[in-house]
Every structure is written in structure tokens, then in C-alpha cells.
A and B are shown apart, each in its own frame.
Chain A
């Protein structure tokens, strides 16, 4: 995640081209290991260094928050970030370039599952150790990972399929409530649902089942929209799905048994970082598999020319319905996780504001692209956290950024790019593998 942000400042100045080439030869594995070093460094020495520099505590989000809150601390914070992140990442990446390439080559000769597992394990370790510093970081990480799932699933509809859906927060709400009712009803003592029905120890293991159910409820909701709106193409979906969002919201507000407008609380603490991380990884993997298969490419064909897709044996209506329900499923799962991360849901969360957030992430990151969704979700959620001290000005800066992206890259930062895990993990020691 931080690789892009931090890889530039640390190398000796040899011109931009040389720097880029040097960075290009470090494989993904090398970057991950280098970042791992940095977060370990922070974990063990961060507090001491912060004391030494006279900072009250370790800067939480790479110092941005601290700088915005107390501009006078800027030099110290920048120094901290440089010493803890930039310098170690740059140095380690350079030092372990050769061994990392060798290792990556070895790994890539094995079945692809093994290198994938290794990369994911290191990535998880980084997030875990980084998050260990404060509870705020863990919360931000979890919400960011959930945002990735939401953005990617919405991209399936708005990007890959080229329709415009507005009901994603509605699906999220359905998933959140279905999952919460399941876990609160079965495993928690609550004033609405009474005492726990099953032993609490089982709960953690059944949580994936609860998430799956939440996803299925959301997919059923999607079916209700899909049946009338996919008979033809056009703006129908946008309108019907927007109506659906309001229907879901007011339905939940009027359902007394889930707390109505007061919301539903006392969800058990099941959405741990590993749980959210695995759900997110699974979501990215499955969606990426889908959109790269010929069955998934049918979505692009329907978007670019539906009549031609039809003439080439594609059942366009079924294709659209399946994709819509599939996307809704993941929104539901993300909603279930969201409810358990906050351990409280209320219907007001799932309104137009949430819709605008997710849409912004999709269009900012890039249509028709898994990279784009990840970049869009991570950058916008991190940015909105980091700019929090600016209060109202945050809502000037972020939209301004969006406008700029729309002007200079109308389809988003990284649009229409395939996410090829195998290529991403390749060693980069040969010149033809350079980025």
C-alpha cells in the first residue's frame, strides 16, 4: 500500500529515469519485505524515536494528521516518517533486490497458490504489525478493506457492465442487518433478541456462514431490482436502484424488531483484522477470476454493444442479472463486516452520503479495473481519514481532487487494466520485466 508513496524519496538523486529503473527492478516481494522491515522498526523503535524527537506519540497516518493539527511539529514529523519509513524501505528494497528476485523466481516455479499465499501472508503481517500501534489504525485498516470490497463490487456493475447502479448502500444495509440478526440472535444476549441461543464459542466459526447469508439476502434484494430493470438498457436501473435504496432504508427504519431508526447494537466482536483481511482477499480473488473469464468478459460485450453480444450467443439478460446479484452479494458481505467492525448499525448510515462515497471511489480509481478499485478505495478512505483535522475543508479538497481526475483522466486513475496476479509477482531482474 505504501510502496507507491514511499519508494521515491530515499534513493540517491540520479535523475528520475534512473530512479524509476532502479525501483522497477525490485520485485513485489522485495517491496513487501522492505515495508515489513519498516513497520517492524516502527513497532520496536517508533516510541523511542518519537520521544527522542519530542513528539507526543507515533504519528498515526504517516504524520499527515499530526502536521495538519499542529503545523509546528511538521519538521519533526517529516523526519520521523523519513527515518522510519522512507529511508528503511528504500535501503532494504535496494539491498535485498537480488535475493528477493531469486526468491521470487523460485516461488513462481511452484504452483501459483504458494507464491500467492506467501505474498498475502507478508502483506497481512505488515498490516497487523502496523495496526498494532494503535486501535485507531486497526479501525482505519478494517474500514479501508471493507471499502475495497464495496468499490470493487460496484465496479462490476458500473465499470465492467456499464450500467449505473445506485443501490449499493442498500445491499450493504441488507447484508449488515441480516448478518447482525443472525449473530446477535444466536450468540449474544440482547434486549431485543433475548439470551444467546447457541454457545458463544461457536460464533466465531459460524461468522463466515453469517456473512454468506448476509450476502445472499443482498443478492435476493438485487433480484427484485434486476427483474424489472434488465428487460432493456438505459437509465432505468439508475432510477429503480435509487428508489430501492430509499425503500430499504425506510423499511429498516420501520422494522421494530431490529431496532428501527435507533439501530441495532451489541454485535459480537467477530470482525477481527484477519477476518476482514481474508474476506477482502477472497473478494478480490473471486471478482478478479470472474471478470477475467470469458463468462465475465460477456459483461464488457454487453456494455460495448449489446446487440452484437446477443448475436454472438450471449444471453444478455441472464448475464446482467447474474453480475448484478454477484455484485450485490459482495456488497452484502461487506455490509455484514461493517456492522461487526463498528458493532452497531443504524439505517441512517446507508444513505446518499455512503452512495456518494462508494461512487467516488469507483470513478476516482478507474472503471473496469481491479487495480483501480483498490487504489480508489484505499486512497480515498486514507485521504478522508488523514484530512479529518481540516474539518469542513476536507469536503472541498476531496471533491476538487475528483473534479481534477475527471478532467484529466475521465475514466479514472487506472482504468481498463487487467489485474494479473502472476505477472505482479514475477521477479524483475530481467530488463524486459521492467515496469
Chain B
């Protein structure tokens, strides 16, 4: 049984068929890539799996349990962490508060503790502060813990978002274009971090990416999506040499 399994997922926005008969199975520790031209439906697939949209048809199983139709916070709580293409950090909160907040559903104190500042709350807050600092250290942003996020350089913001996603305790981590808008140096850092996350936490990773260099180096299996349909799936070498993929990216004449 795969960790995350998606069978025959289809989604329509009104009359527009955004995703058609999408299948996926991710094993623990695997890194999967999803590539495709702009508007192919990559982010829609992410949003369908993480519960922002509800698929019109199909099944999504996490650890064998169906999760389609649950609210995003429930799906996140069950082990699907994600980052966003457009960052979506909270602009009035510090870096540390970001990572602490991602522990929300696993907090061991309730409203009573929040209102009256019980000792249990202080212990719990200390515990998640320590855990959050560990994650920030792993992302090399621990020294920025007390900063507000809008003050950080772009690469650091990306890493904060990654730490925040990891703090939810995911089994599968969804990265939506983790290197969008990064310079080459930041790109290399980000690749190192993704490798580190995979090795030290043993997570499965599912990523959308535009930069083929990164996908080819990191991923075990790559899917290519065009107009909501997977046209090719295989190892990086297979994808690189697949005529259908080349056609989708570069046009027909070059193949001739």
C-alpha cells in the first residue's frame, strides 16, 4: 500500500475540465516531481489533494484512509504539509511564531490554558518553541527567529515557509515551486535543504517545479502534465527523452 494514493481524480471548474483521470502513488521516502507548461493544472492538483477544492470524481487515500472532502486543516493534520507558490506568510508575525503556529492541531492545551496561562500551557509552549527552533536551525534561519517575515530576504522567506510546513509533522511534503524567483545561489541552497529534509526526516516529497535542472537532479519519478492530463511518467532520463514531453515544451517542429 502506497503512502499517498490517488485514483482517477477528475475535476471540473464549471464547464472547464481542469484535471482528467489523474493517478498517483507515492511511497515513503520517495521524491516525485510534477512538471508541465503554465496553466497545465499543476497547482490545481495540489489544491485538490490538500482539500482547498473538492475533486469532482476520484479517490484520494492517505495511509489507506480516504481524505477527499475533508477540510484543509484536517488533511494537514493527517500528514500532508504544503508550501505555496506565492509564499503566503503572515506579515505581522515573527519567524518563530510562524513555526510555532503550525503545531496548532497538536497542541496539548485548550482554551482554558490559553485564558488562564496554566503551567501546562507554559510547558507546552516551551516544548513547541524548542521544536520550532530545531526546524529553524535545520533551515539555517534560526538567527532570524524574532524578525517579522516581511523584513527577510526572499530566500529566507522560502525557508521559513518550508520550516512552517515541516512543523505540521507531515508524512508527505508538497512543495509548490520551491525555487520560483530564486537566484542561482539560493537555488543551490534550496536543493541542499530539500535533500537534507529527505534524508534526516525520511519524508516523501511531491514537488511542482519549472526548473528542469532541479527536477532532474532531485526526483525519483516525474510526471508531465499537459492540459490536465498526464502525458508521461517515468524516471528523469525517460522523461528527458520522451518525444511527447519535448513536444509539449518546445513544440512539434523540433522533433521532426
Contact = CB atoms under 8 A, between A and B. Distances in A.
A and B found bound together: yes
Interface of A: 286, 289-290, 293-298, 300-301, 303-305, 307-316, 322, 368, 416
A112 to B, nearest CB: 10
Given A294-B128, A308-B90, A313 B84 contact: no
A308 B89 contact: yes
B193 to A, nearest CB: 19
A296 B116 CA distance: 12
State the majority secondary structure of interface residues on A.
helix
A313 B117 contact: no
Contacts of B110: 295
A313 B73 contact: yes
Interface in B102-120: 102-107, 109-111, 113-117
Given A294-B103, A300-B92, A308-B84, 14 more contacts: A289-B115, A290-B115, A293-B113, A293-B117, A295-B111, A295-B114, A301-B101, A307-B84, A311-B76, A312-B102, A313-B102, A313-B168, A314-B105, A416-B92
Given A294-B107, A301-B101, A310 B93 contact: no
A365 to B, nearest CB: 17
B164 interface: yes
A312 B164 CA distance: 8
Contacts of A298: 101, 104
Contacts of A304: 89-93
A311 B104 contact: no
Contact of A294 (B71, B73, B125): B125
B216 interface: no
A296 to B, nearest CB: 6
A301 B93 contact: yes
Given A286-B115, A290-B115, A294-B128, A310 B89 contact: no
A289 B117 contact: yes
Most buried by A among B102, B107, B110, B164: B102
A300 B116 CA distance: 20
Interface in B161-189: 164-165, 167-168
Contact of A311 (B72, B91, B109, B111): B72
Interface residues of B, number: 39
A208 to B, nearest CB: 16
Nearest to B128: A294
11 contacts: A286-B116, A294-B104, A295-B111, A296-B114, A297-B93, A300-B93, A310-B52, A310-B72, A312-B101, A313-B105, A314-B73
A123 B253 CA distance: 83
B143 interface: no
B115 A310 contact: no
A308 B106 CA distance: 17
A308 B88 contact: yes
A322 B111 contact: yes
Contacts of A313: 73, 76-77, 102-106, 168
Nearest to B132: A294
Nearest to B110: A295
Given A308-B84, A310-B72, A294 B116 contact: no
Interface string B139-165: 000000000000000000000000011
A296 B117 CA distance: 12
B32 interface: no
Contacts of B71: 310, 315
